[in-house]
Structure 1
Amino acid sequence: MTTVVIGAGIIGTAIAHDLQRRGRQVVLLDRDRPGMGASFGNLASIAVTEFMPASRASVWRQIPGWMLDPESPVRVRPSYMPRLAPWFLRFIAASRPAKLRELEAQGAALCARALDDTLELLRDTGLDDQISDEGCLSLYADEAEFAADRDHIALLERFGFAHEVIGRQAIKALEPELSDKIGLAVRFPQNRSMKDPYRLVLGLADRFTALGGRIERGEVTGFTRSDTIREVVLKDSRRIAADEVVIAAGAHSATLAKALGEPVPLETERGYHTQIMAPGITMKHSIIWPARAFMVTPTAGGIRVGGTVEMAGLAAPPDYRRAKITVKRAREALPNLQCEAFTEWMGHRPALPYTVPILSASAKTRGLFYATGHGHLGLTYAATTARLMGDLITGARPPVDLHPYRINRF
């Protein structure tokens, strides 16, 4: 039984490893080397508390104002607005209270498993030294900022996610470099960080090939199928025979799904980071400042700063002003932060208007499966996705009901 997994980011590589371990003969296929897409530059967090749907009315009502602000946390390039309009209408529809409650429960079901599944995967692959012991701090200048984020905290309380409100003295004891502007914080002990998310993908790919899996490079241009998937067709005219195919190509999955007759409302949420290798400070925890819309994580041998979102499609060139905005804001929290020996990066996160991913068998073609649309929670959901998709593909019963994550829910 040959299974082709298309997409060698953290999601596809984790799925390929899981299936190879279960006895499938797996080909992991990507146009680039493993881990070179969004998995290269994510903010390295197992963000189990971050499942609040983005489609809240409190978010989309700010978008017209954000359009006029070049430093807004979300930027839509005006030239891309006509293309984005159908996606945005679905995004607004997903803000209905009943829909939000559904999406919250679906996100919580995945996030509740995320850390334990990640730790199990790391132990099983000998990569358990790749995760930090520290959690994440969510920062607030004052009670007013904290009150503005109260919906998030209430959501965590409703689903039983661990968190602790701490004051200024406790904050400084945990992270002495934080500014005195920070009046209180919420500590998320389960939101642990990877020491280098790119090297994690490489390590997992090595474990996959050690089990007998095969990695191929090539650009997919089509498929041979009837009622059953048969072949993956590449741009260089190669054909890879397949009994099963898993589409896990991140933001590029939309093109493949459309070619397979199952179009999905998947957009690229372009993310930026600045990797600072000489920051002049040390940190143990990752930090988020919701009111300033940035995150800082100690990872990859330095400190990584990111958090901004841009909607501009797959083809537009990067606008690295977005990365500079988050560094400027990070210095409000970390006044001694130096930006020396740094690089800037942009990558494509696969965003659905309904926040929760697609984890599904095809509704049209036997042997075809989808695992995409993880948004900014790709690393968080990777181990859980691999477990659930492995069960689904091999006929085992997944520990989570996958009906809400089906391909044809749209």
Structure 2
Amino acid sequence: MSAIAVVGAGIIGVTIAFELQRRGLSVVLIDRDGPGKGASYGNMASIAATEFMPVSRPSIWVQMPKWLLDPEGPVRIRPSYMPKLMPWFFRFLSASRPSRVRELEVAGAVLCHRVHEDLDFLLTATGLSGMLTEEGCLSLYADEAEFKADREHIEVLERFGFRHEIIGGDAIRDLEPALSPKIAKAVLFPDNRSIRDPYRLVVKLSEKFLSLGGSIEQGEVVGFDHGDRVRAVRLKDGRSFEASEIVLCAGAYTGKLSRLLGEPIPLETERGYHTQIMAPGVSMRHSIIWPARAFMVTPTAGGIRVGGTVEMAGLDAAPDYRRAKILVKRAQEALPELRADEATEWMGHRPALPDTVPIISPSAKHRGVFYATGHGHLGLTYAATTARLMGDLVTGAKPPIDLKPYRVDRF
């Protein structure tokens, strides 16, 4: 009997493979690199349950011209890539209609309300509960003006019932003594906990999958055999794997695979940068974000990771590590004693859809094909929930939520 082929061995793919295996199915996991070597290697390790707001919204468009003109701004579009980006950009603009924004907020909130239930189940089932920290995330504000500028985010969380606590003055330093006194206000998100090492989590999950009889194959998918349904996955090295079903979850590369099936997806890459500092000179318990400076700092992987920013330049352009250096400079505003000793820089590809809501869906064209992609900044956050939902789709079980907002043919 043919196995189910899961294409993509990042956190989404490995978690889906384990979930399908847990349901008694035979699964082969296929990736051109090893498990966790893509975006999952360098994400910010955050279970960001409060960060579901769609990026395209009227308040963002007001700030966009200033950001794009600032070479150190939070969004950078390489001029040479702009012509190719325009179709995606127009869909991004369309997603900012107020009525559409409200629909997208609901779709994101529905997933985020499930995050910890599904993640706790996954980590318990795999013996990896120790990977999740107890501490949450602090959002920082230098003054009342910065806090008011982020008030829209807080109001959305209040509307959907997500926990948060506004903190001022010395109470901020009581939680994180290394923070600068220039931070006048903070919001604690207790449910935005962190993973102690996101790459190691993917590796451990893949090892568990293998130990239970799963198979992992390294190779680049270049085609499919299909008639009335897809029957096999073909690799660049000439190998072919018969498959009863196929799940495409190769992150930012899923768009290339969907085009091979005549089912184009408006998927772009938001290139993100981080600096992993192993001798930072400060200690932290919580992760921190500073919305006005557009960076995040997380204690993870044995050190402190500084990341953030968005660069639109496609899958093939060389990294611009000036972006990573800018983020460290900004992090030092919040953490004056932070040193960038024993540091490495990294760039990865977040899979970005114009409306910020992921695709968790059967194919609209081919029986036996399923998609799990476009998770953007929330791949780690949504991984266990996506796996639970994909398990229901593949096996024909009734999902616990309505999956229409996440369908592949909504664009």
Tell me whether 1:211 sits opposite 2:212 in the alignment: yes
Task: Tell me if structure 2 keeps the 8 A contact 1:134–1:189.
Answer: yes
Matched residues in 1 for 2:159 and 2:70: separation? 34
RMSD (CA atoms) = 0.7
TM-score normalized by structure 2?
Answer: 0.99
Calculate percent identity across the aligned residue pairs: 69
Counterpart residue type for residue 191 of structure 1? N
What does residue range 151-162 of structure 1 map to in structure 2 within 5 Å? 151-162=152-163
Tell me whether 1:35 sits opposite 2:36 in the alignment: yes
Counterpart residue type for residue 2 of structure 1? A
In structure 1, what is the equivalent of residue 198 of structure 2? 197
Q: CA deviation at 1:226?
A: 1.0
In structure 1, what is the equivalent of residue 409 of structure 2? 408
Counterpart residue type for residue 206 of structure 2? A
In structure 2, what is the equivalent of residue 119 of structure 1? 120
Matched residues in 1 for 2:253 and 2:186: separation? 37
Q: CA deviation at 1:199?
A: 0.1
Matched residues in 2 for 1:267 and 1:27: separation? 26
Counterpart residue type for residue 167 of structure 2? I
Alignment gaps of 5+ in structure 2: none
Q: For each residue in 1:69-91, what CA deviation from the matched residue of structure 2 results, as whole angstroms up to 9, or x when unmatched?
A: 11000000000000000100000
Counterpart residue type for residue 406 of structure 2? Y
Q: Aligned to 1:350, what secondary structure does the other structure show?
A: strand
Q: Aligned to 1:408, what secondary structure does the other structure show?
A: coil
What does residue range 243-254 of structure 1 map to in structure 2 within 5 Å? 243-254=244-255
In structure 1, what is the equivalent of residue 106 of structure 2? 105
In structure 2, what is the equivalent of residue 140 of structure 1? 141
Matched residues in 2 for 1:345 and 1:234: separation? 28
In structure 2, what is the equivalent of residue 186 of structure 1? 187
Counterpart residue type for residue 266 of structure 1? L
Counterpart residue type for residue 136 of structure 1? C
In structure 1, what is the equivalent of residue 228 of structure 2? 227
In structure 2, what is the equivalent of residue 5 of structure 1? 6
Tell me whether 1:390 sits opposite 2:391 in the alignment: yes
Q: CA deviation at 1:67?
A: 2.5
Which range moved further: 310-319 or 50-59? Answer: 50-59
Matched residues in 2 for 1:195 and 1:395: separation? 34
TM-score normalized by structure 1?
Answer: 0.99
Task: Tell me if structure 2 keeps the 8 A contact 1:227–1:364.
Answer: no
Q: Aligned to 1:264, what secondary structure does the other structure show?
A: coil
Q: Aligned to 1:384, what secondary structure does the other structure show?
A: helix
What does residue range 162-311 of structure 1 map to in structure 2 within 5 Å? 162-311=163-312
In structure 2, what is the equivalent of residue 66 of structure 1? 67
Q: CA deviation at 1:181?
A: 0.4
Matched residues in 2 for 1:158 and 1:59: separation? 20
Matched residues in 2 for 1:245 and 1:63: separation? 39
Task: Tell me if structure 2 keeps the 8 A contact 1:57–1:92.
Answer: no
Q: Aligned to 1:27, what secondary structure does the other structure show?
A: strand
Q: For each residue in 1:58-105, what CA deviation from the matched residue of structure 2 results, as whole angstroms up to 9, or x when unmatched?
A: 223433332321100000000000000010000000000000000000
In structure 2, what is the equivalent of residue 26 of structure 1? 27
Matched residues in 2 for 1:349 and 1:239: separation? 28
Task: Tell me if structure 2 keeps the 8 A contact 1:195–1:299.
Answer: yes
Matched residues in 1 for 2:66 and 2:171: separation? 36
Matched residues in 1 for 2:145 and 2:333: separation? 18
Tell me whether 1:49 sits opposite 2:50 in the alignment: yes
Q: For each residue in 1:312-365, what CA deviation from the matched residue of structure 2 results, as whole angstroms up to 9, or x when unmatched?
A: 000000000000011000000000001000000000000000100000001111
In structure 1, what is the equivalent of residue 83 of structure 2? 82
Tell me whether 1:370 sits opposite 2:371 in the alignment: yes
How many corresponding residue pairs? 410
Q: Aligned to 1:407, what secondary structure does the other structure show?
A: coil
Structure 1 runs (4+) greater than 3 angstroms displaced: none
Q: Aligned to 2:409, what secondary structure does the other structure show?
A: helix
Matched residues in 1 for 2:120 and 2:168: separation? 30
In structure 2, what is the equivalent of residue 336 of structure 1? 337
In structure 2, what is the equivalent of residue 381 of structure 1? 382
Matched residues in 1 for 2:283 and 2:386: separation? 33
Counterpart residue type for residue 138 of structure 1? S
Structure-2 change in CA distance of 1:255 and 1:216 (3 Å): same
Matched residues in 2 for 1:86 and 1:66: separation? 20
Which range moved further: 370-379 or 51-60? Answer: 51-60
